[in-house]
Structure 1
Amino acid sequence: MIDVIYSKVLDRYIVIEFHTKLHSIRFVRPGKELKEKKTNEAAFELENYFNGRQTDFSSDVDLSHLSPFEQKVLTQTRKIKYGKTITYSELAEKIGSRAYRAVGNALGRNPVPIIIPCHRVVAKKGIGGYSEGIDIKTRLLELEKRNLNNL
């Protein structure tokens, strides 16, 4: 099944694919007319997130198609608290590795951005990369910083 919500914060449609578990989230630029459809828990949670009413997610995520290392990185990333950031090297240390570049690559394979908050992992000097673009990463971090003050 596929759900769609629109985020004014990101100026993107969020396309949420799920089977028995949450499978993927994609960002789609406006221009292609998509109708909003919300039937899945993740769609409602994301909508609440963008409206400043949700700081974490309970949706089950399917990571079975990823390597054990990628699963380990993403499982640890999901533990990063709302409004907080850590560096790639700090995340690598948390999983018992020094391979911070491999951690960055694993984050780039995150099938469910926002739900697994890879945007909260930053470079030591600067914001670092993001699969959906640095502008989206910046907006997500700003949203959380702004909403953290209102919670």
Structure 2
Amino acid sequence: MPRKTIDSPVGALTLTEADGAITSLSWGGEGADDTPLLRAAAEQLDDYFSNRRKVFDLPLEVRGSDAQARICAAIAAIPFGETRTYGDLARDLDLPAQAVGRGCGGNPIPILIPCHRVLGAQGLGGFSGGTGIETKIWLLRHEGAAGLLI
């Protein structure tokens, strides 16, 4: 599968493409492939980090269970600069909050599917990418997330 690694303010990010869609974004790694889709994804991420983009327009494919796909679709619908809680998504999806938490943690395409916008009922919650909670805080501050208590 083609992979491209880019530098970003939150560290090196590696994008993976399969069957015409982005299937993974991970921290670290190495990849130097240059397909049109990987190039577009890199450009859109650069625009996001440079405050020129708030919405990504890329084909994404979440490989996993139906519940994982539903959770990721709900996360993807959270607008730039806004947040939801695990409980909010659980109610919307008729799933336990713990399942939503696992789904967020299992999101294979963070940032593009903005799981950093999902918070715990009492605060930030966790984040599995980059340096963990520090990366989540950086992304939320970058977006000017309203009502964020940090």
Q: TM-score, normalised by structure 2?
A: 0.85
5+ residue gaps, structure 1, are 147-151
Q: Deviations over 1:86-134 (max 9, x none)?
A: 110001111123x001100011111100010000000111100011110
CA distance in 2, matches of 1:16, 1:109: 16
Q: Does the aligned pair in 2 maintain the 1:74–1:107 contact within 8 Å?
A: yes
Deviations 1:30-61 (A, max 9, x none): xx888796842211111111111111111111
| 1:25 corresponds to 2:22 | no
The change in CA–CA distance for 1:54 and 1:72 in structure 2 (over 3 A counts) is same
Number of residue pairs the alignment of both structures matches: 139
Contact 2:13–2:27, Cα closer than 8 Å, also in 1: yes
Please tell me whether residue 6 in structure 1 is matched to residue 3 in structure 2: no
For the pair 1:94 / 2:95, whether they are aligned, the reply is: no
TM-score (structure 1 length as normaliser): 0.85
State the identity %: 31
The 5 A counterparts of 1:50-69 are 50-63=49-62, 65-69=63-67
Deviates most, 37-46 or 129-138: 37-46
Residues 85, 120 of structure 1: 8 Å contact kept: yes
| Preserved contact between residue 14 and residue 31 of structure 2 (Cα < 8 Å) | no
SS at match of 1:23: strand
Q: 1: CA distance between counterparts of 2:71 and 2:65?
A: 10
Q: Over aligned residue pairs, what C-alpha RMSD do you find?
A: 2.0
Q: Give structure 2 stretches of 5+ with no counterpart.
A: 146-150
